[in-house]
Structure 1
Amino acid sequence: MLQKTLLVLFTISFITNVKSQIFEKIEPYYIRTIQFTGNTQQSQLPIIRLGERLTLTFDDINGNEEDYYYKITHHNFDWSKSDLSKGEYLDGFDDVRIETYENSLNSLQLYSHYILSFPNRETRGVTKSGNYLLSIYNDDGVLIFTRKFMVVEEQVAVGVEIKRSRNLKYIDTKQTVQFSINSKDQLLINPNQSLHTLVLQNSNLKTAITNLKPQYTMGSELIYRYDQESSFWAGNEFYNFDSKEARAANNGIRRIELSDLFEHYLYTNISRADRPYTYYPDINGNFVVRQFSAENSDIEAEYIRMHFALQYYEDIGDKELHIYGNFNNWTIDESTYMRYDEETDTFRNTRLFKQGFYNYRYVLVDRDGSIDQGAIDGNFWQTENDYTVLVYYRGPGQRYDKIIGMGKSNSTIITNN
């Protein structure tokens, strides 16, 4: 039975990967706590301007001081590989060993902590805007995992507004993103064909909207005032837990045990879909590594087994319940699966997390890999979400898709009209 369940999980993960994340390789179990950030953004999807800094960190809990190497590739809007040669988009070279790493200090779980930042001595930076893929390989040339990032050169202004849905069926459950692109003095030739937009909710590429065309033009502005076509399910505020103190129960933690590692048991959650919306601050699915008394949390933080429990009495058929968040780049896999426990009549999961503050929610996953984020936690128009719009352009004779503009907004300023 367990093997059958795991087979379904891997099948779902594979189908999802093929449909929406063709070039992304999911990390193996021993690679943990991947953090990929730009100058200020705490996210797994850095969006930076040309010349800004990027940092990737991760842990190898095998703790064997393995050698890892990185490569950087440039991609088109649809994540097909671009026609640019490496010398056209990279100043310096890649396929270089990650030289900076430290071993864990005084932790029950041994691990090696790797740090990659660029520009660096070998890779002085990228010279073109667009989509990029950072790939990490081991000493045998085997691909271990990948992460995407975007580089922007701001040539156009992007104004973004968040609206309630105009459709009464969804007015209480969806948020609509409307935006405009002001090309200023730049001539955008044939924008219906040469211009593409990417609309993100909480930096999650897996739910991005990519098929919008400008509806009309006002002077130098392209206007996108869709309703359903540019709407997202609003979701609910994320659950959270704070494990910064391994020996003392903190926010969301019911009790603590010590075996070979610390075991933290969270309070049992219930379905919020039919309950009134309640606001409380979250970080929109993200996480922050921290250890309360550490001088350096990167190497002093413990790895803790977090125990999740959910009471959910609706019939889910052959679907599956999973925990969901940016702690693993919004990935559904066997480590996020909630198994039903007859003894307690709850769905349960035990997963390894490095000490810190984490957001998560529960989602229902169909056999085809589709994810229903509102089935357990509900969808409420009041929910606070971040939205980002990226503008891609390929002019006549150009060989790649530039990112020429970026706009951001938040649903706390949502309006009804």
Structure 2
Amino acid sequence: MKKFIFLFSLLLSTFSFAQLSYPEQANHVKSVVLRPLAPNRYVPIMRMGERFELSFDDLEADQKEYYYKIEHYDFDWNPSGLSDREYLIGYQTDRIRNYENSFNTLQFYTHYKVTFPNNETKFRLTGNYKITVYDEFDQVAFVRKFVLYEQKVSAGIEIRRSRDLSAYDTKQYVEFDIKYPNVIINNPSEEVKVVLMQNNDWNTAMTHLKPQYYRGQQLIYKYVNETNFWAGNEFRYFDSKGVRDANIEIARVDSGPNLYHTILFTDEERIDLPYSLNPDINGNFVIRTIDGGQNPDLDADYTWVFFSLQSLEDLRGKRIYINGAFNNWEARDEFEMKMNPDTGKYEAIVLMKQGFYNYQYLTIDKDGNRSNHDIDGSFHLTENDYTVLVYYRPFGARYDQVVGIGYGKSDRILN
């Protein structure tokens, strides 16, 4: 326990430094959720008119005034250049009026939420968007991406084992087609762009893929190597819905000086183990609690979650991060694992709200290359979600429309 206390103290001493390194998310802002209101929908990719919600907690719990600003972007996530009146009905910037303080929690916080479209802000156009939340002093709290689309074309996806024999057991190959019977596309190779990504992590996105074949009003993408993804392994998980409860992933819960300490069992590397099916939600998370009331937004508490990893792999020159949708797939300082020489383990302590979390161990080398398989291996049988977004900009148009989306799962992978 002394070793964890030492690491805990080290984390607190560097807490403010992390805020300076990542101004896009202030340290006192946690549990940012941007997703559709429909059940079992985790990803901020919505059909035009579909309702979605942004929510977050401010751990300073002083009921600040927060504002949002919505901006339209092109395919490459550069500002589209459109005026806000062209892509919005109403206000581009408005105050977030719905907020309440937590109830009966050790960690006080103010919970904020806003639903779109609302009376002040509605959307005219599809496309890529960013929403920036900032406080009354114009300090940015965080930024999140989202996509609005209309289903004008259809996209079909098939996932197969890699055609590259050297990666036959470790990678997944994605082929897809786009059918557009009701859209006039004069020059598909120039007017149509696609994004192909794994588990809705934009860090995995493959862009600027050109159609290889044309068949009437159908575009066919059957690349050999370009659409291979490392399959990775099933996500790890823990469930802290019972703030005092140990379970299959939580070794014990200790009473800390202010908050509970959720001590996870030590994770071991899986790179040399055979693949084992472990159903997951592909990196996503759900805030929930069985303690207190029925509203997890206000009743779920925060705990310090202790992660530890035992790995014998040579990871010199690489950094290790805890990664998932809960931290927006970002490799920020507070999620970095550090070697504890006393235990011989990589360790990290993260402040997290009660809930069910998927996570993985991500490595990043000195050149910025990300890997989800250095520690846990990569197996073609791993169940992953794949998404294709179809963008269309006809000649002379000023913005990129999102005209279709396709989904695929590798749970029934083809040879």
Structure 2 match to 1:351:
350
Q: 1:136–1:145: 8 Å Cα contact kept in structure 2?
A: yes
2:116 to 115, 118, 126: 118
User: Residues of 1 paired with 2:304 and 2:40: CA distance?
Assistant: 23
2-side partners of 1:235 and 1:146: how far apart?
28
Residue 194 (structure 1) shift: 1.4
Letter in 2 for 1:117: T
Matching residue of 1:77 = 75
Q: Which 10-residue stretch deviates more, 42-51 or 73-82?
A: 42-51
**Cα distance per residue 1:215-247 (max 9 Å; x no partner):** 011121100011220111101001100000011
Task: Choose which of 78, 96, 99 in structure 2 pairs with 1:98.
Answer: 96
Q: What's the secondary structure of 2:397's corresponding residue?
A: coil
> How many angstroms apart in 1 are the aligned matches of 2:161 and 2:319?
30
Write the distance in 1 (CA, Å) between the matches of 2:66 and 2:39.
Answer: 25
Q: Check conservation: 2:26, 2:140, Cα contact below 8 A.
A: no
Higher mean C-alpha deviation, range 109-118 or range 335-344:
335-344
Distance 1:316 1:36 in 2: 34
User: Deviations for 1:116-135, whole angstroms, at most 9, x for unmatched residues?
Assistant: 11111211x21111101111
Q: How far is the alpha carbon of 1:44 from its aligned partner?
A: 6.6
TM-score, normalised by the number of residues in structure 2: 0.93
User: Could you tell me which of 176, 183, 186 is aligned with 2:173?
Assistant: 176
Distance 2:194 2:248 in 1: 39
Change (3 A) 1:380 1:41: farther
Alpha-carbon distance between aligned partners in 1 of 2:231 and 2:101, rounded to the nearest angstrom:
41
Note the 1:32-181 alignment, pairs <5 A. 32-40=30-38, 45-123=43-121, 125-181=122-178
| 2:279 counterpart of 1:271 | no
Alignment of 1:231-310 (within 5 A): 231-259=228-256, 260-293=258-291, 294-310=293-309
Q: Distance in 2 between matches of 1:167 and 1:41?
A: 38
Q: In structure 1, list runs of 5 or more residues that go unmatched.
A: 15-24
Tell me if the contact between 1:42 and 1:286 (Cα under 8 Å) persists in the aligned partners. no
> Which residue in the other structure is 1:401 paired with?
400
**What is the CA-CA distance between 1:29 and the residue it aligns to?**
1.2
Residue pair 1:39, 1:48 contacting (<8 A) in 2 also: no
Q: 1:45–1:147: 8 Å Cα contact kept in structure 2?
A: no
Q: Would the aligned equivalents of 1:327 and 1:358 in 2 still touch at CA under 8 Å?
A: yes
Report the secondary structure of 2:167's partner residue. coil
Aligned amino acid, residue 71 of structure 2: T
* Cα distance change, pair 191–324 in 1 and its aligned pair in 2 (3 A): same
Matched residues in 1 for 2:319 and 2:278: separation? 27
Distance in 1, matches of 2:340 and 2:392, equals 51
- Residue 156 of structure 1 aligns to which amino acid in structure 2? V
1:59 maps to amino acid: D
Segments ≥4 residues shifted beyond 4 Å: 41-45
Root-mean-square deviation (CA), in Å? Answer: 1.9
Give the aligned partner of residue 413 of structure 1: 412
Matches within 5 A, 1:361-376: 361-376=360-375
Point out the more displaced range, 44-53 or 30-39. 44-53
Letter in 1 for 2:414: T
Residues 24, 140 of structure 2: 8 Å contact kept = no
Secondary structure of 1:229's partner?
coil
Aligned to 1:384: 383
Which residue identity lines up with residue 376 of structure 1 in the other structure?
I
1:300 deviates by 0.7
Moved more, 247-256 or 351-360: 247-256
Separation (CA, whole Å) in 2 of partners of 1:273 and 1:147: 33
Aligned partners of 1:165, 1:146: CA distance in 2, in Å?
A: 36
Asked if 2 retains the 8 angstrom alpha-carbon contact of 1:339 and 1:349, the reply is yes
Match of 1:211 among 208, 212, 216: 208
C-alpha distance in 1 between matches for 2:69 and 2:42 = 17
1:82 is paired with a residue of what secondary structure?
A: coil
Structure 2 distance, partners of 1:66, 1:149, is: 25
SS at match of 1:189: coil
Q: How many residues align?
A: 400
Q: 2: CA distance between counterparts of 1:295 and 1:40?
A: 19
Moved more, 41-50 or 212-221: 41-50
CA shift for structure 1 position 94:
2.7
Q: Which residue identity is paired with 2:353?
A: K
